[in-house]
Amino acid sequence: MNGPMFTGIVTDIGEVVRVEKRGDTRFTIATAYAPESIAIGASISCSGCCLTAIEMGRLPDGRGTFVIEASAETLSKTTLSNWKTGTRINLERSLKIGDELGGHIVSGHVDGLGEIISITPEGDSKRFRFRAPNDIARFIAQKGSVTLDGTSLTVNDVDGNFFGVNIIPHTQAVTTWGHARVGDAVNIEIDMLARYVARLAEFGKS
């Protein structure tokens, strides 16, 4: 596969600390990652969007930072258009050879925007229900994988354009899902396997 790959296992919750609107929009993101460990040009999944680190630094409070730029096209197709100072985002660094594949193969290319329709306690977990756009809903299958805001999750049920997932307390604690609300937009990346199976099925009908 070409390009960086991720697993959908979030390794830090970043915070947007500066937004600069120029030709493109620059976001400065605070992180627990050591800035000296991030190479210029490194790919980082930011709530499911594969973005390129172009500058690193440190804040007075000691937190590391990296800067990414987003085009108008990226802003229009993802939740980045809603990011502002204080927005918390799920972070994952790209896979290296030998890394454990804890979730599933994720490209960091957002397929569409979904919406949280309901959040219901279910034991210690929470059942989230989402609405997906028409053009990608057919790729979401019960017991299949889906990436939501950069998090690899298992689909529990599907009903037309709606689907549900359970999010356990640990995942809520180490990602932004612990603070998610009904009505929030989410970045959706469908499972690559589902995409290829659908494509093969189209060829089978021709």
Distances (CA, A) of 38 to 15, 43, 117, 179, 192: 17, 9, 37, 27, 27
Residue at a domain's end among 33, 64, 93 = 93
Which residue in 65, 69, 45 sits closest to 57, CA to CA?
65
Its domain, for residue 153, covers 112-205
Q: What is the pLDDT of residue 87?
A: 98
User: In the predicted model, what is the mean pLDDT of residues 140-146?
Assistant: 92
What tokens appear for 12 in the block?
């830090």
Determine the 3-state secondary structure of 173 from DSSP: helix
User: In the predicted model, what is the mean pLDDT of residues 169-197?
Assistant: 90
Residue at a domain's end among 62, 93, 124 = 93
pLDDT tops 90 at residue 103: no
pLDDT tops 80 at residue 32: yes
Specify the number of domains making up the chain: 2
132 and 87 together in one domain: no
Q: Given pLDDT bands bounded at 50, 70 and 90, which one contains residue 5? A: confident
User: In the predicted model, what is the mean pLDDT of residues 149-177?
Assistant: 97
pLDDT tops 80 at residue 196: no
pLDDT tops 70 at residue 64: yes
Q: What is the pLDDT of residue 4?
A: 81
Residue at a domain's end among 93, 125, 157 = 93
Q: What is the pLDDT of residue 191?
A: 83
Q: Given pLDDT bands bounded at 50, 70 and 90, which one contains residue 110? A: very high
User: In the predicted model, what is the mean pLDDT of residues 40-69?
Assistant: 96
